[in-house]
Amino acid sequence: MAEDFQGIATQFVAHYYNTFDTDRKNLAGLYRENSMLTFQSSQCLGVSAIAEKLVNLPFQSVKHQYGGADAQPTLNGGIIILVTGHLQVDGGEHPLGYSQAFHLTKDAAGQWFIFNDIFNLVV
């Protein structure tokens, strides 16, 4: 394990949620055409479908609060990450629990990207 997978995961998660909470349209650069998002059982494949889904979620503002990221290296040199936390939408009083799993891998240029992304609210 040449790379610090936990450090990469921690930095990635902080960047992802900061971007999500401030300007969701900028998340598109973290995905590629072979990326897949499953959001509450709804699946999207490719950058444009994923970006459209994330930008058109039914709220204006969101704030993620999470306790860290559990990470493990994968066989192909990727990283799998599990995040659990709470999010507050449109200034609501009651935070919603969520879990999100990311599988990061590198593209041909050696840049990390999200290959798989699974998000679910926890009820």
User: pLDDT digit string (tens) for 74-112?
Assistant: 998 999 999 999 999 998 888 999 999 999 999 999 999
The tally of domains found in the chain comes to 1
User: Which domain CATH number covers 52?
Assistant: 3.10.450.50
Quick one: how far is CA 15 from the chain centroid? 9
Strand duo 112-122 + 31-39: pairing: parallel
Tokens 């969701």 found at: 24
Q: How far apart, in whole angstroms, are the C-alpha atoms of residue 23 and residue 5?
A: 26
Q: Domain of 37?
A: 5-122
The fraction of the chain above a pLDDT of 70, given in percent, is 98
Q: What is the pLDDT of residue 2?
A: 47
Q: What is the pLDDT of residue 123?
A: 78
